């Protein structure tokens, strides 16, 4: 069976009798089995997926199937699915079974998506390489010696390697876009509040957003159209109407600003710069106005992000105490030792590092010097970003400073690892939507992604422009 890159092509072949959904699921299960070495999947719902496929084949014959019939999807291991395990790739939640499904999962299931399994990620979504998972790193299918990116490395590789058509993941500081760039697929971080966070295991609540990873923009548009919108279970979701993303055909010429500081940054790989300039030139060829803009707060983004997100993580992860659910140390003898030993044994090194950093910046005597100041900088970043987006429609930059780096290359240097997020954290701090799309491949065969960031709730225009660029550059 051929490797499909869009639901439209799958549904075309189903309607013409070339394939069945049962055959499609069987194909994906075979690919998953043949690529176990990538360590993308933590659990595969083989029997359940085949049963659902047979039901959908019958529904198709009756003409009652939903819009997503034929889409096989993977879930990042921090998105809840009722009666299925969810662990955030942490030993502290190993074997925990969710009592309910995330709102986004319910909405997609209602349109007959098939969930084929849960995929690996950095523990509690904290990482830029997927090396922080309690269950081992995910390998990049383009080069198994390279990282997949994080924290949604399993989701990106599952799509990259043809183990499923699409995946749902979360993005707190680039966790969808960075692995999408490393793996040569599409990744969208929606506007904060566009998609419900109900059923997402929280890392940093004012930053987290669920979004899709796909092999085509058309699938991304359809997934977003179905799962976006207000949710009474998440008070931060916007009541603003959801656009018909899948029908958005507006043809207009945009004004795009490229970040001078990003393309001149000393840490940006030359091939990444070249790929970004090629996209800028392609935008000009397509008739768009492209000009240089300046954002003088670039070097403040990563410190601001890590002060604020670790503070929120310290608070959010306090619920994992060994008392109510998850891992409880068998060596505990009293209340204090239950807390101390359960958390020591259950959390990995990076999660502990961020909890301690967050606790420090919130502590008496330091909260004003760090947390309060970071909140002020966040407000300035939001204001500056909104000012820039009044002068242009989109901001373009590399998604990542480099292509995928080697396994273990940055594992012993947290600062170097954190700087891998330098271009992606901007959208999370400001709350704006941003998309990473495949732009080129390096001489060594590694994918390079370029990022577009737009105005709040303008995902329709963002995805359409990415689609136009992909068609123009033949990056599909």
**Residues with catalytic annotation?**
76, 151, 175
Which of 163, 96, 124 minimizes the C-alpha distance to 326?
96
Measured CA distances, 275 to 189, 223, 401 (Å) = 21, 28, 11
Helix (H) or strand (E) holding 186: strand 186-189
Work out the end-to-end distance of the chain between its first and last CA atoms, rounded to an integer number of angstroms: 19
CB atoms within 10 A of CB 318: 13
- CA–CA separation, 334 and 320 (whole Å): 16
Q: How far apart are CA 380 and CA 304, in angstroms?
A: 11
- Characterize the bridge pairing of strands 255-259 and 289-293: parallel
- State both tokens at 123: 């523990």
Rounded CA gap, 128 and 147, in Å? 9
Residue 382 structure tokens: 């939001």
Q: What are the strands of the beta sheet with 41-44, ordered from one edge? A: 41-44, 114-119, 72-76, 166-171, 209-214, 186-189, 434-441, 447-454, 394-398, 255-259, 289-293
Closest of 440, 413, 433, 421 to residue 175, by C-alpha: 421
Distance CA 304, CA 132 (A): 22
∠ CA 354-209-73 to the nearest 5 degrees? 110
Count of CB atoms situated within 10 Å of the CB of 355: 22
How far apart CA 263 and CA 260 sit, in angstroms, is: 5
Q: Which letter does DSSP use for residue 144 in this model?
A: E
Give the other-Cβ count within 10 Å of 163's Cβ. Answer: 28
CA dihedral 369, 298, 207, 152 (to 10 degrees): -130
Tokens 């009722």 sit on residue: 82
């Amino acid at each position: 069976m051929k490797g499909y890159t869009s639901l439209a092509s799958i549904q075309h072949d189903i309607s013409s009798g070339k394939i069945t959904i049962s055959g499609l699921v069987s194909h994906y299960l075979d690919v998953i089995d043949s690529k176990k070495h990538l360590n993308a999947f933590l659990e595969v719902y083989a029997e359940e997926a085949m049963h659902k496929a047979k039901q959908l084949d019958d529904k198709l014959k009756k003409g009652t199937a939903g819009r997503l019939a034929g889409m096989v999807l993977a879930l990042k291991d921090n998105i809840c699915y009722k009666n299925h395990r969810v662990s955030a790739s942490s030993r502290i939640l190993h074997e925990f079974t969710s009592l309910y499904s995330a709102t986004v999962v319910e909405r997609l299931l209602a349109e007959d998506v098939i969930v084929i399994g849960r995929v690996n990620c950095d523990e509690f979504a904290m990482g830029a390489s997927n090396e922080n998972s309690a269950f081992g790193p995910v390998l990049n299918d383009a080069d198994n010696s390279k990282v997949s990116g994080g924290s949604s490395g399993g989701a990106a590789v599952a799509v990259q390697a043809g183990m499923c058509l699409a995946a749902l993941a979360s993005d707190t500081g680039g966790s969808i876009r960075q692995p999408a760039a490393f793996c040569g697929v599409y990744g969208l971080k929606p506007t904060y509040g566009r998609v419900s966070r109900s059923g997402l295991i929280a890392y940093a609540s004012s930053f987290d957003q669920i979004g899709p990873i796909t092999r085509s923009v058309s699938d991304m548009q359809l997934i977003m159209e179905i799962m976006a919108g207000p949710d009474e279970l998440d008070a931060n979701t916007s009541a603003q109407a959801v656009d018909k993303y899948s029908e958005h055909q507006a043809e207009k010429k945009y004004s795009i600003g490229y970040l001078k500081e990003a393309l001149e940054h000393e840490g940006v790989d030359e091939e990444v710069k070249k790929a970004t300039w090629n996209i800028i030139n392609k935008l000009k060829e397509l008739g768009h106005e492209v000009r240089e803009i300046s954002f003088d707060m670039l070097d403040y983004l990563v410190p601001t992000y890590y002060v604020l997100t670790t503070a929120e993580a310290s608070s959010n992860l306090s619920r994992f105490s060994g008392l109510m659910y998850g891992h409880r140390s068998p060596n505990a003898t009293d209340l204090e030792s239950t807390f101390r030993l359960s958390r020591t044994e259950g959390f990995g090194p990076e999660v502990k590092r961020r909890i301690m950093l967050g606790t420090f910046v919130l502590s008496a005597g330091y909260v004003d010097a760090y947390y309060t100041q970071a909140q002020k900088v966040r407000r300035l970043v939001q204001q500056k970003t909104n000012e820039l987006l009044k002068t242009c429609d989109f901001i373009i930059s590399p998604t990542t400073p480099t292509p995928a780096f080697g396994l273990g290359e940055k594992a012993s240097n947290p600062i170097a690892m954190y700087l891998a997020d330098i271009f992606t954290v901007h959208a999370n701090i400001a709350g704006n939507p941003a998309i990473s799309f495949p732009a080129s491949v390096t001489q060594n065969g590694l994918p390079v992604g370029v990022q577009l960031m737009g105005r709040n709730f303008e995902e329709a225009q963002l995805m359409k422009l990415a689609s136009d660029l992909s068609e123009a550059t033949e990056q599909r």
